[in-house]
Chain A
């Protein structure tokens, strides 16, 4: 026998449910944060920082690919331009504090991102991918030819310097917590962007662009902004990376790097917030583990195999598949 249902009760139940969900999320995030804070005491901080830098790079890329549906095959250009700018400034102007170098690197990548966006935004899908790839190659050749990058040798011995002129970053722990703070801030920023009305419009563009146009949105402007934010964050990742490793090299500008960030995002789960972080952790670890063992020469083909497998079999990536699994089995 059906009881008459009071709408207020349903509402209450939903709110209750939401609260439980929120609490769960808060707990998960809290645990993750504790782990990240404790990690450098268990693992080598430089390795952790490498993961964080690539995770930020992948998060930046995912904002564009996963949430807006634009596949950029040229993100290496932003990583490298951020890294080179920061490296050049910190190496040559000793008066600069580290954060100013990083800000300048990020700014360079942002401007470059704007230029890329203006040139490529009218194209869609794979055309877009190819245009961004070719533009990034142009940047690559610029770096190859330029004196200040050190060409094939790369830029070595970039001083880590002092943060705000106060905190000595030569110390790995200090450096780690600085990178961690920047990473978390960027992650929260992307989370905020994605859940904002602006983020909803980006998702709408991804799902059905003509519809978004017919609703009166100036789609190009939204896409350009997403591209620029993504480029800026990628540049920030590159800037930090060059400070952490005290090195900026052509590797970061090569198109293989653009492919690698796609792999990270895809493996982790594109269009999810945590996916790129998981993917970057996974890929950096695999590369490291392989390079230590007997398979050290087989890194590329193995990554290629992971690529093929991901595209064929589990396109939603690690996080996406986990979410599906939980929804199915745990309600």
Chain B
């Protein structure tokens, strides 16, 4: 068997694959955080809860109504996104213009509520969700086995990430968004409905999280607390990438997933901490993050 640094190639590439998949989730989640933060200056502590909601809604829709994966892939993010917009409208809007710290605290409270209520309903043991038949099995690449579903996750996550980046940085709608956050009064003077734009942006960021949740449902254990721990990792990813940098969030997300996978291969005990270690190093060398602009 081929060995690389004393590790069988199959093991290494397997961990790399898992790393890339985790990285795809980190990228989707940190992208949503970066969109919400970059455009609205809100730190969305409820982001992990929204990711969890996406997965949970998928499972529940299937159990109750038999809604299949492909429908859930659209319906769950839309439902959760709408829920996010309600939160924006009824709660976050009331503290707009206050210190940003309050938005962090408010969404933290919201996350506690969502998570706590759902834990009481569904417990923490994890719900079962079987993946659609067409994704069962995989392809043998010679040096490793690639399950179809994992390949699909990587491809679709990258597409969504790229699409989001494109919309925000390259289209007219994106330019409205960016301008609206720069000077909302002036934008309103031009006849653009800025509060609506804010609601939609928040809803969109939440949708990205829920979308990641749906993708996660077949491969991770779906529990009401699944978003709580990944959220902190994603925060670290956003700090490493540079807050508010959309492209930075995507690249850093995947990079961190890979680094985590490599660490798991060569020195397992450090694998859950390595991202935070990278963050410390990056902060010492480049306090604004790898792709960040402002101080």
Tell whether, in the assembled complex, residue A301 and residue B116 are in contact, meaning their CB atoms are under 8 Å apart: yes
Chain A residues lying within 8 Å of B101, measured Cβ to Cβ, are: 71, 125-126, 129
Complex interface: chain B residues within 8 A of A135 (CB): 276, 280
A302 to B113, CA, bound (A): 7
Q: Is the beta-carbon distance between B109 and A305 smaller than 8 angstroms?
A: yes
Contact B95 A312 (CB under 8 A): yes
Are B113 and A133 in touch, CB under 8 angstroms?
A: no
B119 within 8 Å of A (CB atoms):
yes
Is A119 in contact with B113, judged by CB distance below 8 angstroms? no
* Any A CB within 8 A of the CB of B94: yes
Of the residues A120, A126, A142, A259, contact of B273 by C-beta under 8 Å: A142
Question: Is A156 part of the contact surface with B, judged by Cβ < 8 Å?
Answer: no
Residues of A contacting B235 in the complex (Cβ-Cβ under 8 angstroms): 130, 133-134
Is A307 in contact with B277, judged by CB distance below 8 angstroms?
no
Cβ contacts under 8 Å, B279 to chain A: 131, 134
Q: Does B43 contact A (CB under 8 A)?
A: yes
Q: Contact between B109 and A131 (Cβ–Cβ < 8 Å)?
A: no
Chain A interface, DSSP helix/strand/loop, else mixed: helix
Q: Is B140 an interface residue (CB 8 A)?
A: no
CA distance A122 to B270 in the complex (A): 27
Chain B residue at smallest Cβ distance from A115: B280
CA distance A305 to B232 in the complex (A): 21
A138 to B270, CA, bound (A): 10
Looking at the assembled complex, report how far the CB atom of A272 sits from the nearest CB atom of chain B, in whole angstroms. Answer: 17
A304 adjacent to B273 (CB under 8 Å): no
Q: How large is the interface on A (under 10, 10 to 19, 20 to 34, 35 or more residues)?
A: 35 or more
Say yes or no for B153: interface residue by CB 8 A criterion: no
Asked, given contacts A145-B269, A312-B94, whether A300 binds B119 with beta carbons under 8 Å apart, the answer is: yes
Nearest A residue to B232 by beta-carbon distance?
A137
With both beta carbons as reference points, the residue of chain A lying nearest to B109 in the complex is identified as A307
* Residue from A125, A255, A262, A298 in contact with B105 in the complex, judged by beta carbons closer than 8 Å: A262
Number of interface residues of B (CB under 8 A): 41
Q: Is A123 an interface residue (CB 8 A)?
A: yes
Contact B102 A301 (CB under 8 A): no
Taking CB atoms, residues of chain B closer than 8 Å to A305 are 109, 113
Bound complex: CA of A141 vs CA of B274, how far in Å?
A: 10
Is A300 a contact of B112 with CB atoms below 8 Å? yes
Residue pair B95, A311 in contact (C-beta under 8 Å): yes
Contacting A at CB under 8 A, from B24-44, are: 43
Say yes or no for A58: interface residue by CB 8 A criterion. Answer: no
Residues of B within 8 A of A26 (CB): none
Residue in B102, B110, B116, B238 whose Cβ sees the most chain A Cβ within 10 Å: B116
Chain B positions 98 through 141: 1 when the CB is less than 8 Å from some CB of chain A, otherwise 0: 01111011101111111111011000000000000000000000
Question: With A259-B108, A304-B109, A307-B105 in contact, do A131 and B239 touch (Cβ < 8 Å)?
Answer: yes
B272 interfacial contact with A, CB 8 Å? yes
- The listed residue with most B CB atoms (<10 A of its CB), out of A119, A259, A297, A300, is A300
Selected A-B contacts with CB under 8 Å, 26 pairs: A122-B295, A126-B43, A126-B104, A133-B235, A134-B235, A135-B280, A137-B273, A137-B276, A138-B273, A138-B276, A145-B269, A297-B120, A298-B116, A300-B113, A300-B116, A300-B119, A302-B116, A304-B113, A304-B116, A305-B109, A308-B106, A308-B113, A311-B102, A311-B106, A311-B109, A312-B95
Residues of A within 8 A of B (CB): 71, 119-120, 122-123, 125-127, 129-131, 133-135, 137-138, 141-142, 144-145, 255, 259, 262, 266, 297-308, 311-312, 315
Q: In the complex, given contacts A119-B280, A122-B295, A311-B106, what are 12 additional A-B residue pairs having Cβ atoms less than 8 angstroms apart?
A: A71-B104, A127-B239, A129-B104, A130-B235, A133-B232, A134-B236, A135-B280, A141-B272, A298-B120, A304-B113, A306-B109, A312-B91
